Amino acid sequence: MRGPHNILRLIRTLATFQRTGALPVILSQAEAPARLRLAAHILAWPFTWLGLKGDPSLPPVVRAITALGPAYIKFGQILSTRPDIVGGDLAMQLRYLQDRLPPFPTAEARARIEAELGPGSFEAFTEFSEPVAAASIAQVHHARLIDGRDVAVKVLRPDIERAFRVDVDAFYTGARMVEAFLPSSRRLRPTDVVRHFDGVVMGELDLRLEAAAAGEFAVNTAGDEGFRLPAPVWNLSGRTVMVMDWVEGVGLADTAAIDAAGHNRVILASRVLQLFLNHALRDGFFHADMHHGNLKVGPDGAIIAYDFGIMGRLDLYTRRVYAEILYGFIRRDYRRVAEVHFEAGYVPRDRDIDEFARALRVIGEPIFGMDASHISMARLLSYLFEVTERFGMRTRTELILLQRTMVVVEGVARSLDPHINIWQVARPVVEAYIRENVGPRAAMRDLARTARVLARFGPRLPELVEARLIRDDPEPTVIVRAPSRAAWVAVGALAALAGVAIGTLF
C-alpha cells in the first residue's frame, strides 16, 4: 500500500488538525515561534477542505486524533500522561483516548467471538455486558462464565488491522520524506523508528500473543508485593478475542476516587515507578504501555496491570548498561555515565568524553534532589535533543520501548504525586540491581554461563575447528593436525563440570 497516495494521507493529517482547530492549540502549547505558526497555517489553509471533521462534541485535539485513526490515538495516549509537556488541561482531555472511545455494537462483538472460537462458543457466558471500556484497538465487556467466574472479554475492533496498516504506511512515507529533505534527521533513523512501531503494533493485533505475554509476566512477578494481574482463560482466547479474570479496581487517573478509597497516592506513585524499574532490570521483560487506562489500584492497595499487547524485552547486557547509567546519575558521577555511553557505543568514539560528561552534568544537576513540581520536562527534553545532536548520537531502536515507557511511567507517577523525587524513589531498586549484577559475583556468573554454553557445544567443537581449518587453508603447506575428537570431548566435559560447579555457588 506504500506509494504516492500516502502523501495525500499526510496532507489530510495536517488539514484535519487545521479543520478541527487543533493546529493552533498544538503550536501554542509547543510555544512555537510566530514565523513557524504563520508558515504552518499558510501551508495547511489551502487543504482545509480535505481534513476530517471528527466529533464536534470533543475538544479540538482529541477530535482531530480520534478522526485520524488508531495509530494517532496511540501517540495521544502517551501524551496524556505528560501534563508537564502538553499542559494540564490538554493532558486531561487526551485521557479520553485511553478507554473512553466510541464502542462498536455488542452484537458485532458476539459475532466476532463466535467467528473466532466457533459456533456456540458464546454459550460459555451466562452474562455479557455492554462495553465497559473502549480503546484504539479493542473494547472490553464484563461477563460471567458458566462456572460463575467473572471475566473480562477483550474483542478487537472490526477492520482494525487494515486501519493501522493505512496509518503506518503513511508514516513510512513521511519518514522517508523527512530523511530525504532533512539529512540531519537521519541519525534519528525515522524509517527504523516507524519499522519498530510497525512491528510492535502488528504484534498487539494478535491476542494470542498478548495472552502468552500475560502468562510470562505473571510468572516473573508472582513474588512482587503490591502488584497483580488477571490470568488469561486460554480455552476462550484466540487471535481476535481474549478472556481474562475480572479484577476490580479504581483507575489511576481517578485521583478523587483513589483519595475517597483511602489509598496513599504518594506510596502508589513510588510503587508504580519501582515496579517498572524492577521488571525492566530484574526480569528484562516489562509492561510497555503503562498509561493510566491500563493501571488500577485494588481494594488492598495493590497495583493491577491490564493490556499486555505491548511488552518490552531487554537482554542482560542492555539491562546492565541502563542500570549503570541510572546509578551514575543517582551518584552524580557524570564521568562514569559518559564512559558507559561510550563503552556501549551510544556515542561515537571520535567525540570528547569529557565534553560529553560536562553536557550530562547540565542535564543532571538541575533535577537532582528536586521534586517533580520544580522540573520542566519540556525544557529537559529539549536540551536532551540538543545533546544527542551535538554528539552525533543515533536513535537506538532496541531502547525505544524502554525510553517511551519510562516517560509514560514517570508521567503516571507525577499525576499521583506531583512532588515525587524520581531519583530518591529509583535509588533502592537500582542499587540492589547493581549490587547483584555488577561486580565480582556477576563476573563469576558470566563465566559459569559461558562454561555451560561451551559444554553444550563440546561434542561439535572438533567438527567446527576442522571445518574452519580446511576453509581457511584448503591447500596448507604445513600440515596442522587438529586435536583429536576425544580431546575436544574431554575439554567439553571439563567445561561442563566447571560451569555446574560455579553455577551452584552463584
User: Which residues belong to the active site?
Assistant: 289
End-to-end CA distance of the chain: 53
CA quadruple 491, 492, 496, 497: dihedral positive or negative? Answer: negative
Q: Determine contact, residues 356/391, Cβ cutoff 8 Å.
A: yes
Up-side HSE of residue 354: CA atoms within 13 Å toward CB?
0
Alpha-carbon dihedral angle through residues 51, 57, 58, 60, given to the nearest 10 degrees: 50
Q: Grid cell 561451551 — which residue?
A: 454
How far apart CA 169 and CA 6 sit, in angstroms, is 7
| Residue 282: DSSP 8-state | I
How far apart CA 36 and CA 45 sit, in angstroms, is 14
3-state secondary structure of 500: helix
Counting runs of H as helices and runs of E as strands, what totals does the chain give?
23, 10
Residue 216 forms beta bridges with which residues? none
Kindly state the cell numbers that stand for 425: 524513589
- CB proximity list for 161: less than 8 A, separation 6 or greater: 202, 205
Identify each DSSP E strand in 405-466 by its residue range.
none
How far apart CA 467 and CA 461 sit, in angstroms, is 10
Q: Determine contact, residues 144/126, Cβ cutoff 8 Å.
A: yes
Chain-centre distance of CA 85, in angstroms? 19
Q: Grid cell 488538525 — which residue?
A: 17
Question: What string of DSSP letters covers 375-429?
Answer: --HHHHHHHHHHHHHHTTPPP-GGGHHHHHHHHHHHHHHHHH-TT--HHHHHHHH
Kindly state the cell numbers that stand for 333: 558521577
How far apart CA 325 and CA 342 sit, in angstroms, is 11
| Closest alpha carbon to 7 in 162, 187, 180 | 180
Up-side HSE of residue 220: CA atoms within 13 Å toward CB?
19
232 burial level (CB within 10 Å; 0-12, 13-18, 19+): buried
CA angle, 362 as apex, 357 and 363 as ends, to 5°?
Answer: 95
